[in-house]
Chain A
């Protein structure tokens, strides 16, 4: 059984496979490890931030939100 609290990670082999799939040039092991760590951090940050359902969220204009907040009391 997996630990639901464990930090999600992927490793460099996954990143390398995705880069190859995308047709990108060969990347060295250090770079693919870095890319994998970055992707893992991205997912972790999203998971930690998404504390409410996004089910009804609309991909609205971010500028409109900035404008609305500028005028908010």
Chain B
């Protein structure tokens, strides 16, 4: 077999299946074999659906053999975070609170990837109820970073990031309420996209905060993300926040380069608390983009110090409301730290929450005018510190845990409040061999520009092609 999950990207795999160079069954067996070998140590999957995946792969191969039209993900194994409802199938949301819960509907994201021909390998590990950026989980155990199992896989889409890095799946789907796609992408050395609020429907996805929840894909390169985004994006009347804008062809200008593109580098906040080694790595990444033709422009971001708190105001007010019934009826089913996090909004005044809601369009207008009046893409660290270990972030509901969380989401949470598209692209490694991520943020619905920028960077670097040494 000349093709394997270890070497091929999602797009390459889909094209190989379409050309008949490899069967979907072979691809699926390859992913399942790696999962069987590596998952006991990494804990990316909480459930592996080997039989149903192979059955779906056989159907995909039969469909191709009989000349049926093939979707853009035809025969390609992917996986979802265990919070996307699939009618009749148990969905844990990473919590004992939801043990035995079976969705009454099927998530729109699942329906769309199925219609595109994807093969589902199983359910991916996550932080309980997506409430935390480290990937710890009391019910299923922590997910481990494939680059070094002592380090966090990030959260809350921990399994989504680690499984792509470990080549257990060609692409994964996660969710992002404060950085939960971008952080696991960054710490595992893969790409992750939080699209513009409203672009990818959340129907059938576990809610955490309806104002700031985003569904997003993770994959190995920009072309893979473009393909997954094209499948996932587009209006869904069942999601009241779903945009009606037409979905563009994200692959059309993917390789058009960045000549003349203005990349804004914040002069305030985002690089102020960056670790020296991370900062040096990101400076090299920006220099690479400049060498490719982009113009680096210093940009002062308006009132960034308040954006994270405004985001937290929405997230915790809404999360506390969503969890109120469970807090009263089965508090013992939560892990202690997640129970505490789910109660965070109980003391936020309703008037403060509603002011944060009313302020949101005004804050966005100012941000877009001042930032995107000066540049086309804003560049920041995804994670301003080196990847922390599982041990140092496994501190329970203590002050240390909250400080760690604040540092982890410092550069990502602002863009959930603003609803802007934001993407992590692998930008290098620390001396300890842990990935460093560059975050690219665009104006509303400018995903194609972000993907083009990432593709240009990946054309001149090989960080995304490196893979962890796993045995």
> In the assembly, what is the distance between CA of A28 and CA of B397, in Å?
9
CB pair B303 A48 closer than 8 Å: yes
Residues of A with C-beta under 8 A to B443: 69-70
Residues of B within 8 A of A19 (CB): 343, 346-347
Which one of A36, A43, A44, A63 has the greatest number of beta carbons of chain B within 10 Å?
A63
In the complex, chain A residues 14-73 whose Cβ is within 8 Å of any chain B Cβ: 14-15, 18-19, 22-25, 27-28, 30-31, 34-36, 38-39, 41-46, 48-50, 52, 54, 57, 59-63, 65-67, 69-70, 72
Taking CB atoms, residues of chain B closer than 8 Å to A65 are 361, 364-365
Contact with A along B386-407 (1 / 0, CB 8 A): 0000000000011100100000
Contact of A24 (CB < 8 Å), options: B198, B346, B363: B346
- Tell which of A36, A49, A50, A67 touches B347, judged by Cβ atoms closer than 8 Å: A36
**B288 contacts chain A at the CB level, 8 A cutoff:** no
B196 neighbours in A (Cβ, 8 Å)? 66, 70
A62 adjacent to B327 (CB under 8 Å): no
Judged by DSSP, the binding face of A is: helix
Q: Which one of A14, A34, A42, A60 has the greatest number of beta carbons of chain B within 10 Å?
A: A42
Please state if A31 and B397 are interface contacts (CB–CB under 8 Å).
Answer: yes
Residues of B within 8 A of A44 (CB): 309
Question: Which residues on the A side are within 8 Å of B357 (C-beta)?
Answer: 59
Q: With A60-B361, A62-B361, A65-B365 as given contacts, are A38 and B245 in contact (CB-CB < 8 Å)? A: no
6 A-B pairs within 8 Å (CB atoms) are namely: A14-B347, A39-B348, A42-B313, A45-B309, A49-B363, A65-B361
Whole-angstrom distance between the Cβ of A71 and the nearest chain B Cβ: 9
Compute how far the CA of A41 lies from the CA of B303 in the bound complex, rounded to whole angstroms: 15
Chain A residue nearest in CB terms to B402? A34
Contact B331 A50 (CB under 8 A): no
* Chain A hits for B241, CB < 8 A: 61-63
B41 within 8 A of A: no
Chain A residues in 8 Å Cβ range of B368 = 69, 72
CA distance A13 to B357 in the complex (A): 27
Q: Does B261 contact A (CB under 8 A)?
A: no
Cα A36 to Cα B444 in complex, Å, equals: 34
Q: What is the CA–CA distance of A72 and B364 in the complex, to the nearest angstrom?
A: 13
As a 0/1 sequence over residues 202 to 237 of chain B, the CB contacts with chain A under 8 angstroms (1 = contact) are 000000000100000000000000000000000000
Query: Which of A35, A54, A61, A62 contacts B343, CB < 8 Å?
Result: A35
| Across-interface contacts of A42 in B (CB, < 8 A) | 309-310, 312-313, 316, 348, 352-353, 356
Contact B313 A70 (CB under 8 A): no
B358 touches A43 (CB 8 A): no
Chain B residues lying within 8 Å of A52, measured Cβ to Cβ, are: 362
Contact A24 B328 (CB under 8 A): yes
- For A30, give its contact among B243, B309, B399, B444 (CB under 8 Å): B399
Question: For A28, what are the chain B residues with a Cβ–Cβ distance below 8 Å?
Answer: 397
Q: Which residue of A has the minimal Cβ distance to B239?
A: A63
**B: number of interface residues (CB 8 Å):** 51
A46 in contact with B359 given A30-B398, A70-B443 (CB within 8 Å): yes
Q: Complex: how many Å from CA A66 to CA B399?
A: 36
**For the complex, what is the distance from the CA of A19 to the CA of B310, rounded to whole Å?**
21
Known A38-B316, A66-B197, A69-B368; judge A25-B347 contact (CB<8 A). Answer: no
Q: Is B445 close to A, CB under 8 A?
A: yes
State in angstroms the CA–CA spacing of A52 and B365 once bound together: 14
Tell whether B419 is near chain A: CB-to-CB under 8 Å: yes
A25-B339, A66-B243, A67-B243 are known contacts. Are A49 and B444 too (CB-CB below 8 A)? no
Q: In the complex, A19→B327 CA distance in Å?
A: 10
Given that A42-B348, A46-B313 are known contacts, is A23 also in contact with B343, CB under 8 Å in the complex?
A: no
Pair A70/B245 contact, Cβ less than 8 Å: yes
Is B12 at the interface (CB under 8 A from chain A)? no
B343 touches A27 (CB 8 A): yes
Contact (Cβ within 8 A) A39 B303: no
Docked complex Cα distance between A44 and B368 (Å): 23
Say yes or no: is B260 at the interface (Cβ < 8 Å to chain A): no
> With a CB–CB cut-off of 8 A, which chain B residues contact A31?
340, 343, 397
Q: Roughly how many angstroms separate A41 CA and B289 CA in the complex, as a whole number?
A: 37
A23 to B323: give the CA distance in the assembly, Å: 12
**Given A15-B347, A27-B340, A38-B347 in contact, is the A46-B352 Cβ separation under 8 Å?**
yes
Q: Does B106 contact A (CB under 8 A)?
A: no
Q: How far is the CA of A44 from the CA of B348 in the complex (A)?
A: 11
